[in-house]
């Protein structure tokens, strides 16, 4: 083998120093292959750029950008609707808003209370609460109990009760008032406040008018729309 072919032997092909390792010698022209490969790569890059450009154009068009000199009014309407929905979904600074005439113990409580100072029978008190959109107040924890007492005037006030006292109501039963351990023997429950004395007591549900005052409650939704 001459020095020239040996000097220009193709990289990666097998040969030995005494001559070619195969039967015949060939001159391989790879410039065209390299150019073809480079051309293919360039075409792929160009196609990729064009694809991205088309996608961006479509995206901008749907977003209402004036790509073709025309706007997209439907997008602006949709945008306004989304903004209104977002504003309605945001929690208010006071998330539990009580209706007029009602109040609540603290910001983290959703139950609002209304005290009616006029004397009523149990039936009248129950009707009055429902007309306000609520029910007779159910006092079952210390927070509600202390807040209710802060609203009441001295005397008897109708609250929600049944023939089975809750453990809480039994614990805070008015000292000296007669009751049994099985329930309210007179039928209806009242919250009593007299100077330094306070607690639950029962009153006959069939009592006539001018019997007791009324404490109503209403639950408020978390979001006000």
Locate the domains of the chain by residue range: 31-89, 111-219
| Cα gap 48→37, rounded to integer Å | 17
Q: What is the pLDDT of residues 26-39, one digit of tens each?
A: 555 545 445 555 66
Cβ(166)–Cβ(132) below 8 Å: no
| Cα gap 18→54, rounded to integer Å | 60
Class of domain 111-219: alpha beta
**Selection from 141, 136, 192 nearest residue 162 by Cα:** 136
Instruction: Looking at the chain, list the stretches that DSSP marks H as alpha helix, in order from N- to C-terminal side.
Output: 3-7, 31-62, 73-89, 122-131, 142-151, 167-171
Q: Give every CB contact of residue 224 below 8 A, 6+ residues apart in sequence.
A: 92, 95, 97
Q: What is the pLDDT of residues 111-161, one digit of tens each?
A: 999 999 999 999 999 999 999 999 999 998 999 999 999 999 899 999 997
């Amino acid at each position: 083998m001459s020095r020239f072919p040996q000097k220009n032997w193709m990289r990666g092909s097998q040969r030995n120093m005494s001559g070619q390792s195969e039967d015949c010698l060939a001159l391989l022209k790879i410039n065209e292959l390299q150019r073809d490969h480079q051309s293919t790569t360039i075409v792929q890059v160009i196609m990729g750029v064009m694809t991205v450009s088309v996608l961006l154009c479509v995206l901008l068009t749907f977003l209402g950008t004036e790509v073709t000199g025309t706007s997209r009014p439907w997008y602006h309407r949709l945008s306004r609707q989304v903004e209104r929905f977002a504003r309605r979904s945001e929690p208010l600074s006071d998330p539990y808003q009580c209706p007029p005439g009602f109040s609540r113990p603290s910001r983290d409580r959703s139950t609002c209370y209304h005290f009616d100072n006029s004397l009523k029978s149990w039936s009248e008190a129950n009707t009055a609460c429902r007309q306000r959109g609520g029910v007779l107040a159910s006092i079952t924890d210390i927070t509600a109990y202390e807040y209710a007492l802060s609203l009441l005037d001295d005397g008897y006030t109708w609250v929600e009760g049944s023939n089975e006292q809750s453990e809480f109501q039994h614990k805070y039963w008015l000292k000296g008032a007669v009751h049994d351990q099985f329930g309210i023997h007179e039928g209806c429950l009242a919250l009593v406040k007299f100077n330094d004395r306070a607690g639950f007591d029962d009153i006959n549900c069939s009592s006539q008018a001018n019997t007791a005052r009324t404490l109503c409650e209403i639950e408020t939704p978390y979001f006000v729309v």
